[in-house]
């Protein structure tokens, strides 16, 4: 049985005071359930959130990491540094990083390899843009991202992966994919994992949907059989909304 993971992706939002206020409110509202949850926050808030959520079961994630442990990479944060802090998850290959920060399947692959050398669970983001969907290239695009991102990664590691299917046209636009569209691609991703690895890996891998998930649509999305959670941007910034999604 797969345990669903509902993760918030704060992107580049919140001051330290706002993050602290969220953590206090979220902790009081949060009840330990069968669903795992985590907040993926800007690096500067990670230590604070780790301390605030200690002993609650709420995980803390980063939104990116460098694959080298240390070196002359001004402005970067390494997986080793995140491991040292006890971070639980790391988002890799988010479409905004692919679009604005030259993230490629090759850098995604290096980051995944480094993450799998330690305990942090990667959340690998894949998804097509509007133009690609209109040309019906969505399956080919997602497959290429999976094949490239997972090159030379073992079945044992792949089984620990979280994959977030995030159609770019649904991110931050208020246009959610229909539950059927989301399920269709998540099923395709699971079948592709069986093709690339085996049935065991396909059964184990957690597949999230992301893109304008909110309290009003969370239940329909989460009820789909191949969808094991959500990566939530905008609606994870408010403790109340995010709790409603977790309690779908």
- 66 carries an active-site annotation: no
With binding defined as CB under 6 A, does residue 86 bind ligand PGA? no
Residue-wise DSSP of 113-166: HHHHTSSPEEEEEE---HHHHHTT-HHHHHHHHHHHHTTT--HHHHTT-EEEE-
Whichever of 61 and 83 has its CB closer to ligand PGA, that residue is 61
Q: Which stretch binds ligand PGA (CB under 6 A): 23-31, 42-50, 105-113, 229-237?
A: 229-237
Encoded one letter per residue, x for contact with ligand PGA by CB under 6 A and - for no contact, window 146-185 reads --------------------x----xx-------------
> Of the two residues 190 and 214, which places its CB atom closer to ligand PGA in the complex?
214
Tell me whether residue 136 is one of the annotated catalytic residues: no
Closer CB to ligand PGA, 116 or 211, in the complex: 211
Q: Are 164 and 157 in contact (CB under 8 A)?
A: no
Question: Which string of x and - marks every residue 207-226 that binds ligand PGA (by CB under 6 A)?
Answer: ---xxxx-------------
Q: Beta strands of the chain (E only): which ranges?
A: 5-9, 36-40, 59-62, 89-92, 121-126, 162-165, 206-210, 229-232
Q: What is the DSSP string of 205-218?
A: -EEEEESS--HHHH
* Cα–Cα dist 136/138, whole Å: 6
Catalytic residue among 94, 96, 128, 183: 94
Only one of the segments 180-188, 192-200, 206-214, 218-226 lies at the binding site for ligand PGA (rule: CB under 6 A); that segment is: 206-214
Distance CA 238, CA 164 (A): 21
Estimate the crossing angle of helix 239-246 against helix 16-29, to 10 degrees: 40
Least separation, in Å, of the C-beta of 71 and ligand PGA?
29
Minimum distance from residue 200 beta carbon to ligand PGA (Å): 28
Stretch that binds ligand PGA, among 22-30, 107-115, 195-203, 231-239 (CB under 6 A): 231-239
On the 0-12 / 13-18 / 19+ scale of CB atoms within 10 A, 152 is exposed
- CB–CB of 47/16 below 8 Å? no
Q: From residue 8 to residue 37, what is the string marking binding to ligand PGA with x (rule CB under 6 A)?
A: -x----------------------------
Instruction: Supply the residues annotated as catalytic.
Output: 94, 166
Residues of this chain that interact with ligand PGA (CB under 6 A) are: 9, 166, 171-172, 210-213, 231-235
């Amino acid at each position: 049985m797969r345990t669903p993971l509902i993760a918030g992706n704060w992107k580049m939002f919140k001051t330290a005071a706002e993050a602290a206020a969220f953590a206090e409110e979220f902790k009081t509202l949060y009840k330990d359930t069968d669903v795992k949850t985590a907040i993926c926050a800007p690096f500067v808030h990670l230590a604070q959130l780790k301390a605030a959520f200690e002993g609650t079961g709420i995980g803390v994630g980063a939104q990116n990491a460098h694959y080298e442990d240390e070196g002359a990479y001004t402005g970067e944060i390494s997986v080793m540094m995140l491991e040292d802090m006890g971070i639980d998850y790391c988002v890799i290959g988010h479409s905004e990083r692919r679009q604005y920060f030259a993230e490629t399947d090759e850098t995604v692959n290096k980051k995944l390899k480094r993450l799998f050398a330690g305990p942090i669970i990667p959340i690998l983001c894949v998804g097509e843009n509007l133009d690609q969907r209109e040309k019906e290239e969505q399956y080919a695009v997602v497959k290429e991202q999976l094949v490239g991102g997972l090159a030379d990664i073992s079945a044992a590691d792949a089984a620990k992966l979280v994959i977030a299917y995030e159609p770019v046209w649904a991110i931050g636009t208020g246009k959610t994919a229909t539950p059927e569209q989301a399920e269709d691609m998540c099923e395709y991703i699971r079948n592709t994992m069986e093709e690339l690895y085996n049935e065991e890996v396909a059964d184990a891998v957690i597949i999230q949907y992301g893109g304008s998930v909110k309290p009003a649509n969370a239940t329909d999305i989460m009820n789909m059989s191949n969808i094991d959670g959500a990566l939530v941007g905008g609606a994870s910034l408010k403790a109340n909304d995010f709790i409603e999604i977790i309690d779908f």
